[in-house]
Each structure stands twice: as C-alpha cells, then as structure tokens.
Homo-oligomer: A and B are copies of this chain.
Amino acid sequence: MSSTRRAETFPANTPAASQIFTTVLSHGPLTRLEVARRAGLSPAAVTKAVRPLIEAGYLVEDADEPARPTLGRPANPVRVDGGRALFIGVKVTGDEIIGVLTDLCCRIRLARHAPLPDREPKQVLASVAELTGELLAEAADLGVPVLGLGIAVSGDVDRGAGVVRYSPFLEWRDVPLAELAAATTGLPVTVDNDVRALTVAEQWFGAGVGLSDFAVVTVGAGIGCGLVVHGRVVAGAQGVAGEIGHVTVDPAGPPCHCGNRGCVEAIAGDAAILRRIREATGVEVADTAAAVELARQGDTGAREAYARAGEAIGRGIATVANLLGPERVVISGEGLAAYDLFAEQIRDAFTAAAFGSAAQCDVQTRPLPFEEWARGAAATAIQSFIRADQQR
C-alpha cells in the first residue's frame, strides 16, 4: 500500500523517437509516412520507433478512420492514446491555486481550485499537496497512472533546477519547489514560469502547433509574453524573458510599479485601467467587471481607458514582431473578456507600428478559461515526461 512505486519512464530514449512522438502528439493521427516526412526521417525509422511506443500503449493505431476511397494499401494512422496516462497541472496565484487533471494529450479531465490562505512556501506546498492528492484519488478511480506534476508560478523560475528564483507576487526567493513538491507528492515535478507554461501548451497543443517562431501575449492583471524562437521557448540568460509588460510605450505615460513610466502594463494592466477610469470619470469602479460594464454602457472615460490599453498592447505586440518576426502572435489572458473594447485599437496600433513584413504576422486571440494556466503547467509535465528537451 506504500506509494513508493517507481516512476514510469517513457520508452523513447533517442531524440528521434521523442521527436516522432511529439509530432504525432501535436499533429493528430498521422500515418507513418506522414510522420517520416514531417520528422525528416525514413519510413523505416518511423516503423521501428513507433513499435515500442505502441507496445507500451502510448500510441495506438487509429483503426476507426472513415475508410477513404484511396488507391493502394490503406494507410494506418497512429495517434497518441490520451487515456494512457494522466498528468496534474497546478497554477499558484496570489490567492488561490488551480489544479487540473489532464490526459497525455493535455485534455482537461477535471479541474479543482482551492483558496490559498497564506503565501508562505510551506502553506502553498501543503495546499498543492492536498489538491494533488484529491486529483490523484480521482485518477486512481479511473485506473490510470499519473506520471507527472507541473507547477506554474509567476516570476523568475529556473525550470532546470526546479527552483523559484524570485516571485514578487508570492514574495519567494530561491524556493526549491520541485524538490519539495516531489517529496510530498511522490510525483516527478516540473516547475516553470506561468507564462512560459502557457506557451508550451500553445506550442504543443494550441495555436503554436507547427510553428517554430511565435509569441503568446497574456492580458490581465499583468501583461506577459511567452516567446518561441527556433522552436524552443525562450527562457533568457537569467531565466527571465518576455517582459513585454515593461516595454515602454510612452515615456510620458503613467508611472509603473517597476519604477518607470508608460510601460504596457502601466497602461493596459487591470489596475491601470481602473485607475485611469477613476481619474477620467471620477467614478470609483470596484473591479474589472464593473469597468467593462461601464465601458460597454458607453461611458466615454471608460471607453477611452480601454482604447488606450488596446493601443499600448498593440504597440507592445508590434515591438515583439519587429524584433523577432514571429509567424503568429496569440493574445490570451483574462483581459480578453474586454476584448471587444480594445480589439480595434490593438489591431490599428499593431499595424501602424509593425515595420515592413513584420506586419504580416498573424495576430490571433484565444480565450483563456481559468483552468488554462493550470493546463499549461500540465503541458510542462508532459514535456518533461517525454523529455524532448532537445528540440520542439
């Protein structure tokens, strides 16, 4: 009855094998020939790599395809058996933690959240362990093993070391979260920055599938950005990157908590919008929902606050596009609830500020259910499990 089971490992030791698996994971059912083409390998290599993965149950032959009337031997597509394994993703915010149980394809099976009374590492750890325990129990009912736990935290995180270097929000410094959580849960733990985790989810399972260069911009309390360059998530030399929130868009703009003026976040962050509305209209709006309401009712001051926010975001995205030339930028985050209030301004500001062919970048939006952050955490756990650390 002891929980000291040995961690299950993925039967793909070679880079090629995990690349093949990742390809199938991201691109749905694929015939072996298609996999070979995409991965740049010979069909024979794919056959050989796929077999042990099928034997271990991670891949299945997708027999129930509608038989297409095609010449020659019918193809025999393989896909990932999502039900083969489960993962847990946890996002720690300032006042609550959100946990999801996902399958191997990162589809959410179950979501839970729990309030976080205290931000001390010990307390957070206890809450994470409790939530994880609940999800593990559910997984046990399903009879499917849970193979990893991903934890997403805002701030400066060293994923390799599993250490939260500095999280201003939690007021943590150098907390070896992966180690601690592994000890309490008995699971392999991956810790990463929250925006990067979300970016991993987009890269493997979302709007970034198949792209080697794209960006995810999150709009909400803060403005964040995850970058994928050369098919890999950018972590920065110091573990920090994508600080689009503190790109200056107007040196004469409002002061930001970072000490500067006119950062994107100081104009388009939730708090900034509320303050702007208060200053412009005198109305004391309680929260973002009230602000959105006010703006939708046509209040000029509120609408203008959102317009300015949109302009700042658009400029920020243009900056990213000008510097990196991504194929696509995905805008996400809780702030999207107000998207109708600044969509036009984002687009206009982006188009105006994007230089040359950077303007061809495809700017998309994607709604962000509250579990999505936790799903990102699960995606990092899946990634670690497959340890396709090498490439995308």
Q: Is the beta-carbon distance between B361 and A322 smaller than 8 angstroms?
A: no
CA distance A353 to B245 in the complex (A): 12
The stretch from A25-33, A45-53, A246-254 touching chain B is A246-254
Measured between beta carbons, the chain B residues less than 8 angstroms from A240 are 325, 355-358
Q: Is A315 an interface residue (CB 8 A)?
A: yes
Given contacts A230-B234, A244-B322, A250-B252, 15 further A-B contacts (CB under 8 A): A166-B356, A166-B357, A212-B237, A229-B229, A238-B358, A238-B360, A241-B324, A242-B323, A245-B355, A246-B355, A247-B323, A248-B249, A248-B318, A248-B353, A251-B315
Known contacts A258-B355, A356-B240, A357-B240; is-contact A325 B251 (Cβ 8 Å): no
Q: Is A295 an interface residue (CB 8 A)?
A: no
Q: Which of B235, B242, B353 contacts A260 (CB 8 A)?
A: B353
Q: Which of B241, B249, B315, B326 contacts A236 (CB 8 A)?
A: B326
Q: Annotate A209-250 by CB proximity to B: 1 below 8 A, 0 otherwise.
A: 001110000000000010101101011111111111111111
A/B interface sample: 18 pairs, CB < 8 A:
A156-B357, A166-B357, A213-B236, A234-B325, A236-B324, A238-B361, A240-B355, A240-B356, A240-B357, A241-B325, A242-B323, A243-B358, A244-B323, A246-B322, A247-B323, A249-B251, A320-B323, A323-B323
Q: How far is the CB of A359 from chain B (nearest CB, A)?
A: 9
Closest to A238 in B: B357
Measured between beta carbons, the chain B residues less than 8 angstroms from A227 are 323-324
Measured between beta carbons, the chain B residues less than 8 angstroms from A234 are 229-230, 324-325
Q: Which of B239, B247, B252, B361 contacts A357 (CB 8 A)?
A: B239
Interface residues of A in 240-291 (CB under 8 A from B): 240-252, 258-260
Q: Which of B211, B236, B357 contacts A325 (CB 8 A)?
A: B236
CA distance A230 to B227 in the complex (A): 12
Q: How far is the CB of A66 from chain B (nearest CB, A)?
A: 35
Q: Is the beta-carbon distance between A315 and B248 smaller than 8 angstroms?
A: yes
A225, A234, A247, A320: most-surrounded residue (chain B CB, <10 A) = A247
CA distance A239 to B251 in the complex (A): 30
Q: Is A140 an interface residue (CB 8 A)?
A: no
Q: How far is the CB of A212 from chain B (nearest CB, A)?
A: 8
Interface residues of A in 330-373 (CB under 8 A from B): 352-353, 355-358, 360-361
Measured between beta carbons, the chain B residues less than 8 angstroms from A245 are 355
Closest to A236 in B: B325
Interface residues of A in 158-200 (CB under 8 A from B): 166
Q: How far is the CB of A246 from chain B (nearest CB, A)?
A: 4
Known contacts A230-B229, A230-B232; is-contact A326 B356 (Cβ 8 Å): no
Known contacts A248-B353, A357-B156; is-contact A325 B239 (Cβ 8 Å): yes
Q: Is A327 an interface residue (CB 8 A)?
A: yes
Q: Which of B212, B229, B323, B357 contacts A225 (CB 8 A)?
A: B323
CA distance A240 to B232 in the complex (A): 19
CA distance A353 to B238 in the complex (A): 17
Q: Is the beta-carbon distance between B322 and A243 smaller than 8 angstroms?
A: yes
Known contacts A225-B323, A251-B249, A252-B252; is-contact A355 B243 (Cβ 8 Å): yes
